[in-house]
């Protein structure tokens, strides 16, 4: 292949990556907005203990889902040659067996889980719904991987938006009607079933049963350590729903989960970009200059996307919690939110670095880092929780976040990039405009003072409208400033992409 062909291929990847990234950002904003509205209803109409059970059940669902995948999807994404139909069938068969086994065991253990968490025995019904949801995920993974492999995020974005609508409308309506935990467990099952059906329709592939151990082992060589890293990361996060739930109860779990939702919402909103970075880096590993530029821009943009929301929430956490989620969450929950907020400073960069390591096939290196984070979180978190209560979890979380900078130093072996410079440049536009959230905070302080002195004030949902308009204004201005400052980099990349967008 000629040098010009290599450049054209790199630009084609950049073009599809840019389009895929834009679609995923739009999708993520819409989905997270709907999820956020759904959480508002759950937070307002569930008890704190029921909301704690919500956190526990979704942790268990994520935990077992990761067990069922064992990195097969990532292996399909990374494979340089197009996977054969037998590869897809073998992986589907293996996943179906694993999640069916895991779902069955999970339901059989549900009476014991009810006793451990001091839940009514009737809650086994909710565990059954989660078990059925787990089995349904096996029908979604392979067709999703087929679409992601070709950076075809259009249909994936549409499907995930439909799933979010179904889940959040059903969960919110049922919570409002007083159905408690049935609201989110039944809504989850409906979301997975609809997503599995739609993704199979649009992927234009068929799922067949083929137990080919040789093919399974081939994909496990990369996939198992890759998924083990995610699995260990999930174990690290188990400290809230498992350790806090066992020692401090479901109510404390609910408060910590709500604090995490508020504090880490910005970084969770844009972690979806990893689905673009990983395949884009994988396609560019043979063109080092293009990869280095793509990596640097990815670090800068991921931080720039997170920064405005993170700064706004840091300054506005108390009125934000009061007006959005309700008065019962103000107090301990907001104090936990301050302590959990530093995740926004470190996780965007770590996510980009992890994608690069995986693109180079260093899934075992990622696994080692995740093992370290898990050891630190559990090793520090458990004694701190026993000594200080739920705040101990937050202190351990801060220390682990600081330690993630080790991944940035590891990047020097693969690319030449001033990671911390790119990170600071990403935060710069939001910091320059920091006066906006401070002005909004001053407004809400005046409203609270008016309430305390008996002067009529706006209703809570009026406060939500002002909050949303304020954060939208701040975010739009920050992104606009980012574009003005870095328009040369963005313009050059987009110009190159447009000139080669028809190249496959």
Give the number of other CB atoms < 10 A from CB of residue 384.
20
Q: Is 181 helix (H, G, I), strand (E, B) or coil?
A: coil
Least confident of 84-88, 136-140, 375-379, 437-441: 84-88
Geometric angle at alpha carbon 319, from 52 and 426, rounded to 5° = 90
Task: Give the other-Cβ count within 10 Å of 498's Cβ.
Answer: 12
Number of Cβ atoms within 10 Å of the Cβ of 312: 25
pLDDT at 242: 65
* DSSP secondary structure, 187-222, as one string: HHHHHHHHHHHHHHHHHT--------HHHHHHHHHH
Query: 164, 148 in Cβ contact below 8 A?
Result: no
> Tens of pLDDT along 129-160?
989 998 888 888 778 777 776 656 677 778 88
pLDDT of residue 231: 64
Q: Where are the domains of the chain?
A: 3-499
CA 228/CA 435 separation, integer angstroms: 43
- pLDDT band, residue 455 (cuts 50/70/90): very low
Supply the angle between the helices 332-340 and 250-263 in degrees, to the nearest 10: 50
Nearest Cα neighbor of 200 from 138, 278, 149 is 138
Mean pLDDT of 350-355: 88
Burial of 214 by CB count in 10 Å (0-12 exposed, 13-18 middle, 19+ buried)? Answer: exposed
Per-residue pLDDT of 420-439, as tens digits, reads 888 999 899 999 999 888 88
Condensed to tens digits (0 to 9), the pLDDT of residues 200-223 reads: 888 776 776 777 677 766 666 665
Cα 498 from Cα 60, distance rounded (Å): 44
165: pLDDT confidence band, cut at 50, 70 and 90? very high
What lies within 8 Å, CB to CB, of 210 at 6+ separation is: 86, 89, 90, 93
* Residue 263 tokens, joined: 């504090």
- What's the whole-number mean pLDDT along residues 381-386? 81
Average pLDDT, the chain: 77
Instruction: For the chain, report the end-to-end CA distance as a whole number of angstroms.
Output: 14
Residue 13 has pLDDT above 60, yes or no: no
Does the pLDDT of residue 477 top 70, yes or no?
yes
Average pLDDT estimate for 373-385: 81
Residue 397 pLDDT grade (very low, low, confident, very high; cuts 50, 70, 90):
confident
């Amino acid at each position: 292949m000629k040098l010009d062909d290599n450049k054209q291929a790199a630009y084609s990847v950049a073009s599809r990556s840019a389009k895929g990234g834009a679609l995923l950002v739009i999708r993520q904003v819409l989905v997270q907005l709907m999820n956020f509205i759904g959480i508002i209803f759950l937070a307002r109409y569930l008890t704190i203990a029921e909301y704690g059970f919500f956190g526990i059940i979704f942790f268990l669902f994520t935990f077992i889902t990761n067990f069922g995948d064992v990195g097969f999807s990532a292996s399909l994404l990374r494979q340089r040659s197009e996977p054969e139909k037998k590869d897809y069938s073998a992986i589907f068969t293996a996943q179906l067996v694993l999640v069916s086994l895991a779902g069955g065991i999970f339901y059989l253990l549900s009476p014991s889980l009810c006793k451990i968490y001091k839940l009514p025995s009737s809650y086994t019904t909710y565990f059954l719904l989660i078990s059925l949801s787990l089995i349904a995920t096996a029908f979604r993974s392979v067709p999703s991987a087929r679409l992601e492999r070709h950076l075809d995020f259009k249909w994936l974005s549409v499907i995930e938006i439909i799933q979010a609508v179904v889940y959040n409308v059903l969960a919110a309506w049922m919570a409002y009607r007083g159905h408690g935990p049935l609201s989110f467990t039944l809504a989850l099952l409906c979301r997975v079933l609809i997503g599995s059906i739609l993704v199979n329709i649009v992927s234009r592939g068929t799922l067949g049963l083929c137990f080919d151990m040789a093919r399974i082992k081939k994909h496990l060589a990369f996939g198992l350590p890759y998924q083990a890293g995610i699995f260990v990361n999930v174990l690290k996060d188990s400290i809230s729903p498992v350790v806090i739930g066992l020692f401090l109860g479901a109510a404390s779990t609910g408060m910590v989960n709500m604090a995490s939702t508020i504090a880490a919402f910005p970084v969770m909103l844009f972690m979806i970009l990893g689905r673009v970075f990983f395949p884009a880096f994988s396609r560019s590993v043979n063109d080092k200059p293009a990869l280095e530029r793509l990596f640097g821009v990815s670090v800068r943009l991921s931080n720039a996307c997170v920064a405005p929301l993170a700064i706004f929430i840091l300054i506005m956490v108390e009125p934000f919690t009061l007006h959005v989620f309700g008065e019962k969450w103000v107090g301990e929950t907001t104090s936990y939110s301050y302590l959990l907020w530093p995740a926004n400073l470190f996780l965007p960069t770590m996510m980009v670095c992890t994608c690069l390591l995986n693109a180079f096939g260093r899934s075992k290196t990622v696994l080692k880092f995740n093992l370290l984070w898990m050891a630190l979180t559990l090793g520090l978190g458990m004694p701190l929780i026993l000594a200080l209560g739920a705040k101990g979890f937050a202190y351990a979380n801060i220390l682990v976040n600081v330690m993630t900078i080790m991944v940035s130093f590891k990047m020097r072996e693969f690319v030449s990039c001033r990671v911390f410079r790119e990170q600071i440049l990403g935060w710069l536009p939001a910091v320059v405009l920091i006066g906006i959230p401070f002005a909004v905070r001053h407004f809400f302080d005046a409203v609270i003072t008016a309430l305390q002195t008996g002067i009529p004030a706006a209703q809570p949902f009026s406060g939500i409208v002002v909050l949303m308009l304020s954060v939208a204004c701040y975010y739009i201005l920050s992104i606009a400033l980012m574009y003005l400052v870095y328009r040369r980099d963005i313009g050059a990349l987009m110009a190159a992409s447009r000139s080669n967008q028809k190249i496959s």
